[in-house]
Structure 1
Amino acid sequence: MIEVKTPAEVAKMRVAGRVVAEIHEVLRDAVVPGATPNDLDGIARRELTDRGATSNFLGYGGFPATVCVSVNDVVVHGIPNDVPFESGDIVSLDFGAVVDGWHGDAAVTLPVGPVPGEVAALLRDCDDALWAGIAAMSAGKRLREIGTAVEKLVRSRGSYGLVEEYGGHGIGTAMHQDPHVMNYRTRARGPKLTMGMCLAVEPMITMGTAGTHTLSDDWTVKTDDGSLAAHFEHSVAITPDGPLVLTALDGGAGRLDALGVATPRGLAE
């Protein structure tokens, strides 16, 4: 069942989304050579407490941390450890928060210091794919148009592997809700997008093949061929005035304006 939110509930989700966006900014500054994934987890825990929020990752299915930290060939669900980041690494941070029972969820992949041009392109292209998917979110369209937009962008940029085993999801009073949001085009149209639907869109691409496997910890997902992977995500509400990116500080206005997509301004504050 797809949970449809009222405007007042979307406003509450925006509060949770801003907490996620603010803490992502703090974590971004902490991704430096010598820092460890456990350092980031400690920061995330402190920042959640300071904002009166709780973690929707800690304890979820037994996950032991507040943030997934996935380094280099880890696609998603990396468990924090004490291995320091090195210059040239790339680090994916998947992080969420709960405020007054409403969830926010977002992910970003960051370079640790300078990285080669093709690695910087991997990150840029995955981020652009996320925004292409968000730009396709308007009332009256079908769910598959999100995945179609993501895949079209990815395929236009090179021979990346587009991970299909994992995707986005509905979000609201729980972190993971219906519907599943695929990152590739499908024959099935999926449900019609309606005002009040809130979806997390999260493409994952690799510099090699798309195959992945899960380690014995039952969480860490790596690329089969050892290639680098990128992961970007935002939680988005469909409103009468366009998509509202709940987990972006500006509500997504900057990126979506550049794509010619109208966005609501009131809730973006």
Structure 2
Amino acid sequence: MKFEQYAEQVVSHLPCSKWEKQDLKDELLDHLNSMKVELIEEGYGEHEAVSQTIQRFGPIGQIRRQLSESLPLLDKYMRKWFMLLFYLYVSIASYLLLLSPDRWRRRAFSVEWKQRMIEYGVPQYTHLFQNAKPFQTLSDYIFHYDNYSFGTIMYNLVGNIAVFVPLGFFLPLLFVSFQNMHRVFFLTLGASLVIEMLQFLFALGSIDVDDLLLNGLGGLVGYGLFRVGTSMMDRYRRKIQSDDDLTATPS
């Protein structure tokens, strides 16, 4: 068996990108050729040195299993792509929550409403659209759903959950320190609170504690998706190991 064939079989089924496989293959070939040179210097012939090198390195399955166990969840190439997606998500979420034309139309309405309430001498109604009581908005959607359109309910319930699902997924995927459910939840809650405060300060929306709860739930859903993904990856790696146990030692 030639080094190229041996190295290709080792990396072919590793759970990583094709670019990482190529890097691992090149590194493995370097080690193989270095050992072959040492054996030739010891007096072995070319063919025998190749055979001895492969034999000393070990069975294909064993090397592949060791490499598989040492691989991170994301190799350096895949990490770049996921980091790019994370930045793209942050940009889109920031636009939707703070910079979209719809937000600024709401701002115009909110500013006009406050001015009118002050002119009418009822400044207490300038905060009519704020809710600091947990589950009040949610219960209102449930028990008085006939007062709202289906689109409004879906936008406020599903939308507030969905917008933070990617955050709960990307955080533990890209940062090891966030592979903890509590950290993801509290950071999601913190990010949601910052956005709510900015919306309030710039009159871009209303403060609703139920939005914070739904955003936090979205972060937990994203974290759950991350855990499902890692479980599937672990299962695939165990499958590689079980398949490699059946691989015969190369001659």
- Give TM-score, length-normalised by structure 2: 0.25
Specify which structure has the higher proportion of strand: 1
The structure in which a higher percent of residues are helix is 2
Normalised by the length of structure 1, the TM-score is: 0.24
